[in-house]
Structure 1
Amino acid sequence: MKADGHIHSPYCPHGSNDPFVSYIEWGIDHGLEEMTFTEHAPLPRHFTDPTPLQDSAMKPEDLQPYIKELQALKKEYRSAINIHIGLEFDFIEGYENETKEWMDEIGPYLDDSILSVHFLKNSDRYYCMDYSEEYFRTMIGEFGSVDNIYNCYYQTVSKSLLADLGAYKPARVGHITLSHKFQLVYPPRQSFRQQELELIRLAKKMNFSLDYNGAGSMKPFCQETYPPQPLAEEALRLGVPLIYGSDAHCAADLGQGYSELAERSQLSKPTDLWIKE
C-alpha cells in the first residue's frame, strides 16, 4: 500500500504554516493511498524544552484542535485517501511516567503513532541532539566527544524500546539512526554498527516496526536515510517492517528521500518501500 507514515503539520512550532489540505492534495496527486500525520506530541508537563526557542513540540492547548481538524478531514477526503491521525511521542529518560500519562490520555483518539528520541540526558541536563549543527557542536563539549553522544543516543533508544509506557505505546520507532544527522562534519571516531544492529534485533524482539525516514538523505551533513541502506536491508532480513516516512515539515517536503530509497534499494521493486502493513 503506497503510504507516507511520518508527516508533520501546521501545528508544528518549528515547521511551516502549510494547511493540512496542501499535504492531502499532494498525496492524492501522487497516488498515495494512506498518509499519517504525526505531529510532535506535547512534551511531558514538567519537562522544560532545552532548545533556544522552546519550539520542539505542539502546545498542549493545540492538541484537541489538531485532532478535531483531522477528524473532519478524514471524513471529507475518505473517498480519495485514507488519512490517519497520529503523533510522534518523545521518549525522555526520567519522564516515563508523565509520557505514559499523555499516551493514556491521547491514545484513544489516535490511529497511529511513532516513538522517537530527540532529547538526551547528560548529568542533570537535557539536550536536543538534532536541533542544529551549532547546537550539536556545543553538545560535543558538554558530553566530551561525538562518540559519547552516539553512545548516549543508542542507549536511550534501547531504553525507549524496553520502557513500559502502557497500552498506547507506539509500535514504530522513529529515525533510529538520528545520531548520524551531522556525521559529515562531526564524525565519530569509532564504528557504531554493532550497537545499531543490536537495536534492530531488539526492535524485532519487541515487535517494533521502523520509520524508514527519507529526511536524512536531504540533510547536508547526513546524506543518508534513517536508517541507512545496509541497516534497512538487515531489518528486512530479520522481518522488521519498514514504513516509509518523509518526515515532512512543509508540503514541499512530502516524498523527500524517496528517490534515494528507490535508487539504492535492493528490494524487488521500489514501491515496496512504501508498504505499510
Structure 2
Amino acid sequence: MLDGHVHTPYCPHGSKAPFEKYIEEAIKADYESLTFAEHAPLPENFTDPVPAKDSAMDRQLVESYIKEIEALKKSYSSQIEIKLGFEVDFIKGYEKETENFLNEYGSRLDDSILSVHFLPLGKQWFCIDYSPEVFSDACKAAGSIDQLYRLYYSLLTDSVRADLGRYKPQRIGHMTLIRKFHYLFPSPDKWNQYAKSFLNTVYEEKLQLDYNGAGLVKEHCRESYPPENLALEAYEKGISLIYGSDAHHPNGIKQGYDKLKQSIMKG
C-alpha cells in the first residue's frame, strides 16, 4: 500500500495539522509508503489567480519543508517509508522558471508530481478546480466547454513533452481534474477522445499517472481522476498507476481507495 500524493501543513489552502497526524493515519491504514507532495512555490513572476493567493507554498519555507520531512523519514523509518516530493505546476510560458526550481531542489527529492491547475484565457489565468463559479467564467472566456477541455488537454500534453531538466517529475497529477464539476457542467461529447489521446502521449514519454481518489469525495465529481475506464486503458497500455489520496487533511488519508480498481494499481 503506497500513496504518492499527500499534502502537508505547508499547504496554505489545506489543514495545519502536523505531519505526524498524516503519518499516524497512514500507519493505521497499513501504508508501506507515502509521498509528501506539497504544492511547489509558483514562479516568482507568475501571479496566483485565486483570490486568497494560496495555491502553493511560500518559497521562503521550502528549506524548512525539506528538512522537516528529512527528519521524519529517519524517525519513522522502522514503521513506514516516507518520500519527499512536490506537486509541481506546469504553467505554460514559465517552463524555464520551473526547471530552475527543480534544478535547485531536485537532487534532494525522492518523488514528485507534475500537474495542470492554471489555464490561460485571453489576458487572464483561471484556476480550473477552484470553484464552480471560476469554472463557469473559464468556459465563457474559452468560448465553449469543448474549447476549455481542448485547452486543458493541450496543456497536459505540453506538460508531458516539456523539457524541464533532469529532475522533471515522472508522474502526471489528476489527469481528469477538469471534470471536478462535471455534474454541474456536463463534459463535451469528445472529452473521452481528448483524454485517450493524452494517454498515448503519457505512454510514449514513459511517465506514470496519479490514480487519484479525491474526486470520489467531491460532490460535483464523484469519480476518480482518471475514472475507471481510462484507468483500465492506461493499465492495458502499460502505464503505471500510482494511488494518490491527494489528502489535504489527515482525515483524507486513503480517501477513495476502496472504490478504485485496486488490481491495476502499483503498490
TM-score, normalization by structure 1: 0.94
* Aligned twin of 1:135: 134
* Aligned twin of 1:124: 123
8 Å contact from structure 1 (residues 117, 156) kept in 2: yes
The range that moved more, 112-121 or 188-197, is 188-197
8 Å contact from structure 2 (residues 232, 264) kept in 1: no
Question: Matched residues in 2 for 1:146 and 1:184: separation?
Answer: 13
* Aligned twin of 1:30: 29
Q: How far apart are residue 190 of structure 1 and its match?
A: 2.1
* Aligned twin of 1:19: 18
* Identical aligned residues as a percent: 48
Q: How far apart are residue 123 of structure 1 and its match?
A: 2.3
Question: Matched residues in 2 for 1:196 and 1:139: separation?
Answer: 19
* Aligned twin of 1:50: 49
* Aligned twin of 1:235: 234
Question: Matched residues in 2 for 1:106 and 1:256: separation?
Answer: 29
Partner letter of residue 70 of structure 2?
Answer: Q
Partner letter of residue 117 of structure 2?
Answer: H
* Aligned twin of 2:79: 80
8 Å contact from structure 1 (residues 243, 273) kept in 2: no
Which secondary structure does the structure 2 equivalent of 1:35 belong to? strand
* Aligned twin of 1:174: 173
Q: How far apart are residue 226 of structure 1 and its match?
A: 0.4
Which secondary structure does the structure 1 equivalent of 2:105 belong to? helix
* Aligned twin of 1:198: 197
The range that moved more, 61-70 or 118-127, is 118-127
Question: Matched residues in 2 for 1:40 and 1:189: separation?
Answer: 29
Question: Matched residues in 1 for 2:137 and 2:196: separation?
Answer: 28
Question: Matched residues in 1 for 2:54 and 2:150: separation?
Answer: 26
Segments of 5+ residues of structure 2 without an aligned counterpart are none
Question: Matched residues in 2 for 1:65 and 1:230: separation?
Answer: 40
Instruction: Provide the aligned C-alpha RMSD in A.
Output: 1.0
Which secondary structure does the structure 2 equivalent of 1:190 belong to? coil
Partner letter of residue 93 of structure 2?
Answer: G
* Aligned twin of 1:157: 156
Which secondary structure does the structure 1 equivalent of 2:180 belong to? helix
8 Å contact from structure 1 (residues 3, 274) kept in 2: no
Over residues 256-275 of structure 1, what are the superposed CA-to-partner deviations in whole Å (9 max), with x where a residue is unaligned?
Answer: 111111xxx3xxxx3x4552
- Count of residues in correspondence between the two structures: 267
8 Å contact from structure 2 (residues 122, 141) kept in 1: no
Over residues 77-126 of structure 1, what are the superposed CA-to-partner deviations in whole Å (9 max), with x where a residue is unaligned?
Answer: 00000000000000000101111111111101110000000001112321
8 Å contact from structure 2 (residues 48, 55) kept in 1: yes
* Aligned twin of 1:92: 91
8 Å contact from structure 1 (residues 4, 274) kept in 2: no
TM-score, normalization by structure 2: 0.98
* Aligned twin of 1:275: 266
Distance 1:120 1:193, change over 3 A: same
Partner letter of residue 266 of structure 2?
Answer: I
Segments of 5+ residues of structure 1 without an aligned counterpart are none
Over residues 27-83 of structure 1, what are the superposed CA-to-partner deviations in whole Å (9 max), with x where a residue is unaligned?
Answer: 111111000000000001110001111100000011111101001000000000000
Q: How far apart are residue 197 of structure 1 and its match?
A: 0.7
